[in-house]
A = this chain, B = another copy of it.
Amino acid sequence: MMRRGIVSEAGLIAHGRGEAFDYLIGEKSNDFAIKSEKAAVATMLLAERPVISVNGNAAALSGKEIIGLGEILNAKIEVNLFHRTEDRVKKIVEYLESLGGRNILGPDPDARIPGLDHARALCHKEGIYSADVVLVPLEDGDRAQALKNMGKTVITIDLNPISRTARASDITIVDNIIRAIPNMISFSKDMKNLSIDDLKKVVKSYDNADILKEALNAISENAINEWETQNRK
């Protein structure tokens, strides 16, 4: 995917960081991740203008699933890159179209996210700019914060529970995107039938600070358990 121009060089390093954190949370969807994924689905089902922001790594890892999730949740998909080049935006859009994506936003931005450099600020008026809820998997901290500052509800998928993105977001899914999106698709199918009141209850009972705490506890415990397992050998 890097050789095809979809993933950036920096994206490979970011992927490695994710691998390490995934190992430390046990390479599974823990309870804290499931809770976040359900709250994320409820929030997006309640949204008026939900948007899924897609970068190179997200497209490479979960392009097809993201398109599927967008269809179920009636969410627009917008390609939005931290290391933006017009060439890479175009290639990612073409890739998503080859997977069945339609009306993918990204190549012709007509708005800007306030507080960011020009290239990082570019977005679509009918997409991220006017969204009330944005799912930004594998996002940079500055951009997650800038979206928060616009008053949006920000949902992220980030394996590092201590990252600025994780802390800036309303809902932080500490899970590998390749597990998180299929889980969200599965929850969406059930939760679509819930009443607005029931969806609101799911959102109201969710506490992101608790989730981050649970994720850090899991890392801490797994590190100690690894040592004990190793010591018994």
Instruction: Tell me if B212 and A216 are in contact (CB < 8 A).
Output: no
Complex interface: chain B residues within 8 A of A13 (CB): 12-13, 15-16, 19
For A4-26 the 0/1 string (1 means CB < 8 A from B) is 00000100111111111101100
Question: Residue A224 at the B interface, CB < 8 A?
Answer: yes
Interface size class of A (residues with CB under 8 A): 20 to 34
Task: Pick the interface stretch among A140-148, A195-203, A225-233.
Answer: A225-233
Write out the residue numbers on chain B whose beta carbons fall within 8 Å of the beta carbon of A9.
2-3, 12
**Complex Cα–Cα for A221 and B221 (A):** 10
Q: What B residues does A15 contact at CB under 8 A? A: 13, 16
Query: A162 to B12, alpha carbons, bound, how many Å?
Result: 22
Cβ of A167 within 8 Å of any chain B Cβ, yes or no, is yes
- Measured between alpha carbons, how far is A217 from B227 in the docked complex, in Å? 9
> Chain A 77-88, CB within 8 Å of chain B: the 1/0 string?
000000000000
Query: With A227-B216, A230-B162 in contact, do A20 and B16 touch (Cβ < 8 Å)?
Result: yes
Specify the chain B residue showing the minimal Cβ separation from A218.
Answer: B223
A219 to B217, CA, bound (A): 11
Task: Compute how far the CA of A226 lies from the CA of B216 in the bound complex, rounded to whole angstroms.
Answer: 8
7 closest A-B pairs by beta carbon, nearest first, are: A16-B16, A20-B20, A12-B12, A13-B16, A220-B220, A17-B20, A216-B227
Binding site for B on A (CB under 8 A): 2-3, 9, 12-21, 23-24, 160, 162, 167, 209, 212-213, 216-217, 219-221, 223-224, 226-227, 230-231
The 15 listed contacts between A and B (C-beta, < 8 Å) are: A2-B9, A16-B16, A16-B19, A17-B19, A18-B20, A19-B20, A20-B21, A162-B223, A162-B226, A162-B227, A162-B230, A209-B231, A213-B227, A216-B223, A217-B227
